[in-house]
Structure 1
């Protein structure tokens, strides 16, 4: 076990202590309405500093004092508001007569002399007077124009009094609601990332502008206040003739504004104080009482300890709070010391939660705890490097979850959940490199757009590849020195390469080129290669892999779309050494084989690339699958299926050759190959479930899945037991799901019997693992009675994971009128929570009956949907992708282009890139069907009869 060093506290400079001693005791009062700020009313000249989206570097924040009072009851006009006071101490790095500080959707009250801000000098010097103060809404600034210059090197304090709306928009300081014992309860909570701290109080809202924070919350009696720091005292005070609570929190470490959090609620909690670290899980009181926080509490400690050892750095804070919120846009958010989650991402109930729910909780907790160091302690300088922050956490979440649940083999699942998932996006000509130029990412919408599969899943995939070829020990060594060198500071991604190179040099690890040279080929150009191996000659080559080889790539590449490729491979089952492909093509004599020998490259898909072979080697690999499939590692069985189908999409091999990789599946019982096949056959469903190919395809797949269905029927003693292995539990779900999807009569009878038993008795005996697929298939096979029953159960569900399963299944009905009604429900937050609106529309679009209904609905309501849900929603790109996924006709392509033209003025926000990708994908789908339909139809007919 490596030494875990403790970190000395940063000493407070004198001016910080002085600011601390001069804390104002004023409580925030409701300011009078300010319709427009005083100051010049004439139009401001353009191209001033306040017209730019990035802050100038002349002022550097040091410390904030923020007092906020959220109102959990509406005012006379029905609005929920919060009021606040803030003072920020900042350093003047360059003389200036202008203070720019971020502010969005806040109104200000005069502080003194009728002005909306007060400026003082920490050293008591006189300060230049304030000429005017105004809000620059486009760039989201509070602008303070001074009559003279601030002095370089001096520290100043800017004070403001403000008010904002505690809206239900899931951003900044917002409100979440839930019903407990028939009473509606309101929570005041936050989501600052990426640019919404400025909606809570005026601040220098950029990740490099780190500071310390003293937070005070004024809140109603009977509520509990939380923030990043540890509570240092709560007392009753009178405000406006009402007795309220004032809770003060310990000063934070030096941190970025996007990691701030403050919450006022009536939640309950459980805690663990072992290892001198206070860990608390907060949630609705009934959820805590039912033990739904126990799993998270039990797993947080081991995961935290794992990361302390992995990083060789003690957790830098005295407490770790985790809270489950009823309304939350992301899955979770790594606020330092106060992590926020969706209920489904933190709460576990043995009776209702499936093993996939449990895995999600373990991996998301690990993801967020990983950020406590990588992201929070050391923060990337600007959002253009977001991929490193999120990609890293998305990689090591598997390591942390493995520590929590070592029997699951969860580390293998990164191949299905991240590598294969992001290949689909990164193979488009409209993909983008991991790292953007800083100047290209300026506006909040541009920043939000970076929160995509490339940043998370490709980031995770290339970092896993890096860790693999360096070895995990060398990777960790570089990581540890990086964190130690930059603690409480900001970095750019190449700083990590520098520290990894130091570890390579110190350990004598052999690399063909520097870490920087190798990794920049994966970071600075979009896409990935397909590596082609000719086993007859030993020649190996690489080429930029594009799903549509005729698409035009307009994004320039600094490496001409060539990569430095690490290759782990085997020859006829025997693992070989690590081989590198550094150029477009090379001769690797060891890969030349004769006779029955075969080559299999990219073992365990450690590398971020696809592999193609000469036809003879493909035939030998297919033969190995059909005669003794276990000679090929299980991850590579999944890889062969996925690579083959995608090589066929790209016209590198024949589509029927890809289908050949599925013929062995009637002898396969492992989860990953089946999951890979089902994922790829989903495309065939999307393209053909409205055509004559559908029937023969169903016949073939029913034939292939029936042995798996019977295997699990026998293994579970006629469905009475649960398979013991984690992956086996997943594959049992696949067996039932695909059997029902392909109309295996026994499967329909099974799911309908279980569901009707629930309807008739009111007792749900369906195992949590199987509920999603049973609900969906029973609702699909049933009519209005089944749907209405499920809707009632959804409305009354007190367990978030159960409600989620039903919400998804409601989209499975084949009744168009029910789907149309469900679509209408998605825009009523009293029926479907705002956080779930876009995904519910996507689930409806996934249903072949609901596809056109959802598309018509989105087009007709675009302006409303965009204004209500689109601003900074991370899920908005998913909506555009989801409702257009099946598009494969010229008519649909024209509709899509028309939609883009019709709504150009409304805009598409974080879905802008997704719209272009949808058009590109539709063009590719049209071509693919024209080229493949007849061959595929004939193949399915022949194979279903054989």
Structure 2
């Protein structure tokens, strides 16, 4: 695709680089950051040197444009010239890290107005010579710009508000110039700082995370995804550091500013793009690079990490994955470079900034000595996910956040395809069933779930936007798009995608635009569908939940019903489709695949699904459809028989364990686990363990637990022995990727269920390491499970050793394994001490605080400690970590997932009431889901506990 029409050729008033703001004004200005935070509703006037916080009372209730969270459509940005100077040392007067900046935005007036609203959050403005915090000029000829009458900051809706004494003229271009100061805080949002120690020296990186609404913390901007523009970025930084941004470095100069020698790096203009994809970073990192077919690929990280070759794996897979997506989309990569950088502090896993992708260290850096095969797979998948966005999301962007699911769900689906291309021997495409489809079924089966697509009007505030970054958007989005690709065929799906990306390049869309293009491709390729792509897919997108499809093979009758974890729960969200789906059914009869069928109404009869004799039916092959299946008892019995006797069919049936439903008897679901002792394959075991995990959560504090452990120990013993044998008594690694995974399952379950041989093995390995900390004898694949079980079996000696190794770990992946294992101890005092550490960034990095609390809650001993801790400290935790954090729903779900008693339900409701004032941020929906899940758990236990106890007791007998 050519770049014609996307660069503005006429001369633009380039920002003078010298930031003449006196350092003192900067310092004073910064104190306002805190005033603003304190006086959330007192509006701040930035017109007196940026140093005042005079409250300007705005009449309330008010319906002024600045009280609304969405920008008016009167102004359209075209390009920005932004110069930023992050200071990587503390300011001696305030003790703060700061940045200063200048920005000129050129915008077009689309409708006459005397008001400029531009997003701004936590920035303080310098008063310019006109006595205001901004200067407005007319761009290139035409009418002179009106002068500024009044300007102020609207804290609640995050605007710089500028009232003019005349109207802006339609179709005329204007320049808005500002100078500002912000804090380079450690809050992981906007322009922020990340700190680390290398070779005994403390270092600071200035870096960014703009998605979804934090570009406005770095410079004033029209911070909505549809407001695309071209960005000219310039960074001022000290000698010995490098500057990176979305574009290629264009020029460097070496002026003296504020009495110091500095570097000024200017970058080539970006493509036309959204503010949330901007990135700029100053660091002293190293990099590895290669040029593939003219494209520059670079991996940046701490110098020591680069010296230890930890960037090599990412460098090796990036080129092939980009090539894969170029072919998949039938569109060439739109930029001259692809930079990827690993940051010591980063809230999400990674962020798809166009041309400069940011990652947690664990998501990008691979070390052959420390990383397991699952770490390697995670790196390949995350790189694939982010590179998929370079086209889908970045080149073509959804108009507003209510369609976030399409952006993230799409990348979450195709990440498996890209990773599979890079590592064809792994068969990662199979894993989407366990990692996404099954994972999200648990959430989407709640009456408090939500549809994929939200109403635009319901998503306005930053916190509402953050809340959308959940399992529904990512995993359900991935699951339904995979189903769509499956019934259209991948070839037709790709053709529709390609025309969609070509038509909307550098523009914005709504999700139905993609449906239009897929529909055209379906028609052009004669795909027979029971309706249009719109009519089929809108049922999966506009209503929450999914159906359970029940097939009666005695008659061929088939019907669908909204699947609910608790069938008595009250679904309060009405659906225009009355919870009826158009369901694609891939199926087989007695091992032979049949032509796909469609269930287009609540009930139907498919005579060819009727069976007799030994024939059986299995529907939803490869779990390609986003629904569950149930059968008549006769067909279940035949399937169980096949499961026990036919190895060939077994791996296709890993979805059969339908636990936690009233649709089939729980003991029938448990019967499907009997064959596991004969099965050495990963998929069936992992599926069973995922489902049995719920039984552990419900019963690890009750009398069911003993017999359950005894049964599982009996089932896992042959598998443990099998892996012991094929690894030559644990001296070598199994060949296959999935076999390596199942070896971990075998050791983990054997140790967890108290097998003495296993426990002796891991204690021996761990003590060998303790007696010689320099050489770790434990294979990276086995470290997580060995560390956890050894710490669980030990006391403070083991814990303190692991803590010391954690603090000294130079490799983030190793630190992460130790961090989760430290939560495995059975000593309450150690767990309480560990909980306290989570609130001290010197002990546990801010990015890891909430997940560490969740690890502790997953331990049956730590559950109540973590819950008490979160309740006691909620307001502190929320203030420190809750602002833009997507991890809050994980925290709420994590500390409450074991809840299954009336008493816990009351505590949960009390917690909700007590903290209504403080709020729950992106965890708001999670609180509702936890209450609903607890009610369902209470019912499920009361109905099933006795039967389950009897089943395990009988089956555990030798």
TM-score norm. by structure 2 comes to 0.96
Equivalence map 1:818-897=2 (5 Å):
818-897=830-909
Query: Shift in Å at residue 42 of structure 1?
Result: 4.0
User: Conserved in 1, the CA contact under 8 Å of 2:547 and 2:627?
Assistant: yes
Aligned to 1:113: 130
Query: Of 522, 532, 541, which aligns to 1:514?
Result: 532
Distance 2:137 2:156 in 1: 28
Match 1:69 to one of 64, 85, 101: 85
1:596 matched to 2:614? The reply is yes
How far has the Cα of 1:761 moved from its partner?
A: 1.8
Which secondary structure does the structure 2 equivalent of 1:439 belong to? helix
Q: CA deviation at 1:545?
A: 0.2
- Could you list the runs of 5+ residues in structure 1 that have no partner in the other structure? 1-6
Counterpart of 1:147 in 2: which secondary structure? strand
Q: Identify unmatched segments of 5+ residues in structure 2.
A: 33-43, 48-53
Cα distance in 2 for partners of 1:347, 1:219 equals: 26
1:422 aligns with 2:440: yes
Instruction: Give, in whole Å, the separation in 1 of the partners of 2:512 and 2:3.
Output: 27
Q: What SS does the aligned partner of 1:625 have? A: helix
Indicate which of 704, 721, 724 corresponds to 1:710. Answer: 721
Q: Is 1:44 aligned to 2:58, yes or no? A: yes
User: What SS is found at the alignment partner of 1:176?
Assistant: strand
2:136–2:176 contact (8 Å) kept in structure 1: yes
Q: Secondary structure at the match of 1:804?
A: helix
Residue in 1 that maps onto 2:170: 152
Question: Could you tell me how far 1:436 is from its partner in structure 2?
Answer: 0.3
Looking at structure 1, the residues matched to 236 and 272 of structure 2 have their Cα atoms a distance apart, in angstroms, of 24
- Check if 1:801 corresponds to 2:839: no
Superposition deviation, residue 65 in structure 1: 0.3
Q: Does 1:175 align with 2:193?
A: yes
SS at match of 1:600: strand
Task: Choose from 751, 766, 775 the match for 1:755.
Answer: 766
How far the C-alpha of 1:691 sits from its partner, in A, is 0.7
> How far off is 1:26 after superposition?
3.4
Q: How far apart are 1:22 and its partner, in Å?
A: 3.9
Match of 2:553 among 525, 530, 535: 535
Partner in structure 2 of residue 546 of structure 1: 564
Question: Deviation at 1:667?
Answer: 0.5
The CA RMSD over aligned residues, in Å, is 1.0
Bigger CA drift: 37-46 or 398-407? 37-46
1:744 is the counterpart of 2:771: no
Q: 2:796 — aligned with what? A: 784
Correspondence 1:911 to 2:929: no
| CA contact 1:28–1:68 (8 Å) conserved in 2 | no
Corresponding residue for residue 558 of structure 1: 576
Displacement, 1:594? 0.4
CA spacing shift, 1:653–1:28, aligned 2, 3 Å: farther
Counterpart Cα distance in 1 of 2:251 and 2:370: 38
State the alpha-carbon separation in 1 of the partners of residues 708 and 292 from structure 2. Answer: 57
In the other structure, the counterpart of 1:313 is 331
- 1:19 touches 1:122 (CA, 8 Å); kept in 2? no
**1:24 lines up with 2:23 in the alignment:** no
Cα distance in structure 2, aligned partners of 1:620 and 1:116: 76
Going from structure 1 to structure 2, the CA distance change for 1:190 and 1:58 (only over 3 Å counts) comes to same
Distance 2:907 2:294 in 1: 60
Q: Is the 8 A contact 1:820 1:853 kept in 2?
A: yes
- Report how far residue 617 of structure 1 moved: 0.3
1:886-943 C-alpha deviation (Å, 9 max, x unpaired): 1111111111111111111011000000000001011111111111111111100100
Cα distance per residue 1:187-238 (max 9 Å; x no partner): 0000000000000000000000000000000001100000000001122111
Deviations 1:22-71 (A, max 9, x none): 44343353445345425695422311000000000010000000000000
1:97 alignment partner in structure 2: 114
User: Which of 650-659 and 773-782 deviates more?
Assistant: 650-659
C-alpha distance in 2 between matches for 1:615 and 1:338: 55
Instruction: Please show how residues 236-247 of structure 1 align to structure 2 within 5 Å.
Output: 236-247=254-265
- Report the CA distance shift for 1:500/1:734 in structure 2 as closer, same or farther (over 3 A): same
Residues 609-658 of structure 1, C-alpha deviations (whole Å, 9 max, x = no match)? 000000000000001111224224x1x321012xx21xxx2311111111
Match of residue 782 from structure 2? 770
Query: Secondary structure of 2:9's partner?
Result: helix
Q: CA deviation at 1:21?
A: 5.7
Mark the CA change 1:788 to 1:883 in structure 2 (over 3 Å): closer, same or farther: same
Write the mapping of 1:379-778 to structure 2, written as runs, cut at 5 A.
379-632=397-650, 634=651, 636-641=652-657, 644-645=658-659, 649-762=660-773, 763-778=775-790
> Contact between 1:28 and 1:161, CA under 8 Å: does it hold in 2?
no
Equivalent residues of 2:247, 2:355 under 8 A apart: yes
- Indicate if the aligned counterparts of 1:212 and 1:252 stay in contact, CA closer than 8 A: yes
The alignment of Structure 1 onto Structure 2 pairs a total of residues equal to 931
Task: Specify the SS of the correspondent of 1:273.
Answer: strand
CA distance in 2, matches of 1:227, 1:903: 40
Distance (Å, rounded) in 1 between the aligned partners of 2:56 and 2:491: 62
CA distance in 2, matches of 1:28, 1:581: 69
Counterpart of 1:4 in structure 2 is none
Tell me which of 74, 79, 82 is aligned to 1:58.
Answer: 74
For 1:162 and 1:698, the matched residues in 2 are separated by: 62
* d(CA) in 2 for partners of 1:940, 1:225: 61
2:114 touches 2:165 (CA, 8 Å); kept in 1? yes
Q: Distance in 1 between matches of 2:845 and 2:507?
A: 38
Paired residues of 2:18 and 2:257 also in contact (CA < 8 A): no
Question: How big is each residue's C-alpha offset from its partner over 1:762-808, in whole Å with a ceiling of 9 and x where there is no partner?
Answer: 22011000000000000000111100000000000001100000000
Whole-Å separation in 1 of the counterparts to 2:544 and 2:11: 48
Give the structure 1 partner of residue 390 of structure 2.
372
| 1:211-267 deviation digits (Å, cap 9, x = unpaired) | 000000000110000000000112211111111110000000000000000000000
Structure 1 match to 2:35: none
Give SS of 1:899's match. helix
The corresponding residue for 2:911 is 899
Shift of 1:126: 1.1
CA distance, structure 2, for counterparts of residue 116 and residue 187 of structure 1:
29
**Is the 1:208–1:379 contact (alpha carbons within 8 Å) kept by the matching residues of 2?**
yes
Does residue 122 of the first structure (1) align with residue 139 of the second (2)?
Answer: yes
Task: For residues 295-350 of structure 1, give each alpha carbon's deviation from its aligned partner in whole angstroms, at most 9, with x where no partner exists.
Answer: 00000000000101111111110000000000000000000000000000000000
Match of 1:9?
3
Q: Distance in 2 between matches of 1:584 and 1:876?
A: 38
Partner of 2:305: 287
With over 3 angstroms needed to count, the CA separation of the structure-2 counterparts of 1:333 and 1:283, relative to structure 1, is same
* Distance in 2 between residues matched to 1:924 and 1:492, nearest whole Å: 36
Residues 383-415 of structure 1: CA deviation (Å, up to 9, x unaligned) = 000000000000000000001000000000000
CA drift at 1:699: 0.5
Q: Tell me, in whole angstroms, the C-alpha distance in 1 between the residues paired with 2:387 and 2:915.
A: 40
Residue 301 of structure 1: aligned partner: 319
Kept after mapping to 2: 8 A contact 1:706/1:739? yes
Instruction: Give the deviation of 1:719 after TM superposition.
Output: 0.5
Q: Which moved more, 1:57-66 or 1:30-39?
A: 30-39
1:918-929 mapped onto 2 (5 Å cutoff): 918-929=930-941
Question: SS of 1:458's equivalent?
Answer: helix
* Separation (CA, whole Å) in 2 of partners of 1:290 and 1:160: 44
User: CA shift at 1:123, angstroms?
Assistant: 2.4
TM-score (norm 1): 0.98
Q: Distance in 1 between matches of 2:542 and 2:876?
A: 37
Secondary structure of 1:213's counterpart equals: strand
Give me the whole-angstrom Cα distance separating, in 2, the residues matched to 1:118 and 1:575: 70
